[in-house]
Amino acid sequence: MKRVVFEKWQIKKLLAWFLGFVIIGGGYICYTTYTLYRDKSAEEYYWQKNMLDREAEAIGAQQVGAETTRVFTGTYLESVKEVALRSSYYRVVCSIWFRWKGDDDLDMVNNFHIYNGTTNKLEVMEDTMINGWHYQRCRLDVTVNNDFWTVRFPLESHQMRFYIEPNMPAKRVTLEKDGDNSSYNPNIGIPGFYIVRHDTAEFTQVYDTSYGKNSDDEITSEFMTQLEINRSGLGLYAKCFIALFGTSLWVFITMFLCTYHRVDPLSMIPAALFGTVSNIMVGANLLPDALEIGLLEYVNAWGIFTIIAGALTIININRIRNKHGDNRFAALFGRVMSFTLMFIVILGHILMPLSAYMATV
């Protein structure tokens, strides 16, 4: 069998392009997967951080005094009506109850608001006295403004919080959590999501203003309810990128045509580029205009890299054939580059969503 001997320029060319694909593609995969995994890992930190009273607020709580009426407060989430990522809000219906001793003039169900929220409907369900305890319960339909974190969209999770705040300062009313009785409806259905966890906490909010009064900073008490939701599957991910997957497949087909059939399919590449660019708008239309760079952009950029790499491979194959008249090396170059690119591209499409998605048991 005759031994195949390659010229020095052929070895250099093959090695240079091979290493170029591996270094650029591998570096991009390492950067994106690290960024996405770091963002996913930070969810636990933010969850716990928002359960702790800040130092300044704790100092403010010490200034409230013993004369305040301590009101035990709890919530039961009945439904999540809407999660609007693009409009930056969510809408929930929940039961809220207040229980306290003393201060017969206190009317909590009519003297609270949801911080950064708009009340759609408030219905008083109970207002009674039980063994010397005042007890009030209401059902609240509220829309809460929320800046959703979209780095891992469309495989992201979200932490949603709303704060119940009395219309009176903390020296009059202090909310204490009834955490043992606070919960959520296990049958809540949120399209595209499922509930991961739920918790409550109490805070003392110190406002750096006296609202024009000749007094110290305003101090109020707050009761916080937080809920974490996670994407329930790959449905939205597939919707956002199915066209991109199709264009990547189209690129690979053109590369194999050029390699094995000596056809120049370079004119087919613009169709793939058009499909990829059009695909970008699918996910972008589901998000706010001021969005964070994340999985959506990473995968779309990966699709553009696939097209550019495929086009450069075809150009090089044609150049080897036309300039050097070497069909054997042209076919070898095409095979090596095609399979290298296919491996790198598929690896990226596996590792990026795996790094972003928070799998829970």
Print pLDDT tens along the chain (361 aa). Answer: 455 667 888 889 999 999 999 999 999 999 999 999 999 999 999 999 888 765 445 555 555 666 788 999 999 999 999 999 989 999 999 999 999 998 888 999 999 999 999 999 999 999 999 888 999 999 999 999 998 988 999 999 999 999 999 998 888 899 999 989 999 999 998 988 999 999 999 988 887 776 666 665 678 889 999 999 999 988 889 888 888 888 888 889 888 888 888 777 666 666 666 666 666 776 777 777 766 789 999 998 999 899 899 989 988 998 888 888 888 898 899 999 999 999 999 999 999 999 999 887 5
On whether the CB atoms of residues 150 and 292 are closer than 8 A, the answer is yes
Which class is 50-231 in CATH? mainly beta
Residue 233 confidence (pLDDT): 86
Residue 164 confidence (pLDDT): 95
Residue 57 confidence (pLDDT): 55
- Output the pTM of the full model: 0.86
Listed by start position, the domains of the chain span: 8-39+235-356, 50-231
**Mean pLDDT across the chain, nearest whole number?**
87
